[in-house]
Amino acid sequence: MVTTTSALFAVPEPLGMVDMEAVSEAARAATLAQNRAGATRLEAAHVLVDQFARSAQAQAEQADEAGAGSRRPAYARLDPEARARDHLVAACQLTCWHAARLVTAGTQIHRRLPRLRSTVDRGLLPELLAVDIACRLAEVSDAIVSAVEDEVVARFTDDLDGGDRPTRNAVDSAIDDAVERHDPAAAQDAAAAAAATRSVRFR
């Protein structure tokens, strides 16, 4: 009897009766499927932001047609990113922090980071690593983000191919190093800002 465990790979059942190569291939296929599921979540976060933005725009246009008094005050309106975050909290049972990072990563990947998007879409990066990279690259200026993105994505895909899963600290360090190479002045400004936020003053 053969059971299809995913669209990517089929193994005989029970799994314990097959050889090591087949089990390893099944594990790789499951990892690829998991990574692609993460890519779908990131795309969904991006699409939600777009949908909420279009909905807000349509409501604003309707309010304008009905008269200025019909428009809701700014303080009563949530931005599309916040609405997408809240939706993902409920739909995916995420914390607000994780949902906000998913939204940031999804919008960055689909609007600003084409190489990272290609890598994610092919299932080559785990979701959490993709989120860490995208959220960190969100802080990099447009002038150098493409060069920094190319460098860090190439590095981390090589690391994963070699069996090394980068940590969040490794992501931060690699991006800081790349920013320093491509824009030393910006790196110094970022370091100064980080030091200022970490400083503690006593009176």
DSSP of 6-20: SSS-EEESSGGGS-H
In the chain, % of residues over pLDDT 70: 75
pTM of the entire structure? 0.78
- Could you tell me the end-to-end alpha-carbon distance of the chain, in angstroms, rounded to an integer? 75
Q: How many CA atoms lie within 13 A of 61 on its CB side?
A: 6
Element (H, E) at 27: helix 20-66
Domain membership of residue 166 (yes or no) is yes
Angle at 36 between CA 50 and CA 131, to 5 degrees: 60
Tokens of 111: 């609007």
Tokens of 99: 């949902």
d(CA 50, CA 14): 45
Q: Is residue 203 scored above 50 in pLDDT?
A: no
Domain membership of residue 179 (yes or no) is yes
Domain membership of residue 117 (yes or no) is no
87 vs 4: which has the higher pLDDT: 87
In the chain, % of residues over pLDDT 90: 62
Predicted pLDDT at 194: 60
Domain membership of residue 60 (yes or no) is yes
Element (H, E) at 87: helix 80-92
Same domain? For 11 and 78 the reply is yes
Residue 151 lies in domain = 139-203
The residues with which 11 forms a beta bridge, in sequence order, are 3
Torsion over CA: 8, 10, 14, 20 (sign): negative
Domain membership of residue 130 (yes or no) is no
Q: Are 120 and 42 in contact (CB under 8 A)?
A: yes
The pLDDT tens digits of the residues spanning 141-160 come to: 999 999 999 999 999 999 99
Q: Are 42 and 105 in contact (CB under 8 A)?
A: yes
What is the pLDDT confidence band of residue 114, given thresholds at 50, 70 and 90? Answer: very high
The alpha carbon of 8 is separated from its chain's Cα centroid by a whole number of angstroms, namely 24
The pLDDT tens digits of the residues spanning 19-78 come to: 788 878 888 899 999 999 999 999 999 999 999 999 988 887 787 777 655 455 554 467
Domain membership of residue 23 (yes or no) is yes
82 vs 202: which has the higher pLDDT: 82
Predicted pLDDT at 101: 98
Tokens of 131: 């989120």
Which of these ranges, 71-75, 133-137, 139-143, 189-193, has the smallest mean pLDDT?
Answer: 71-75
What are the DSSP E strand ranges found in 5-107? Answer: 10-12
Same domain? For 27 and 74 the reply is yes
Which of these ranges, 1-5, 76-80, 110-114, 133-137, has the smallest mean pLDDT?
Answer: 1-5
Which of these ranges, 34-38, 95-99, 179-183, 189-193, has the smallest mean pLDDT?
Answer: 189-193
Predicted pLDDT at 21: 83
Predicted pLDDT at 5: 44
Domain total in the chain? 2
d(CA 49, CA 46): 5
The per-residue pLDDT of the chain, averaged, comes to 84
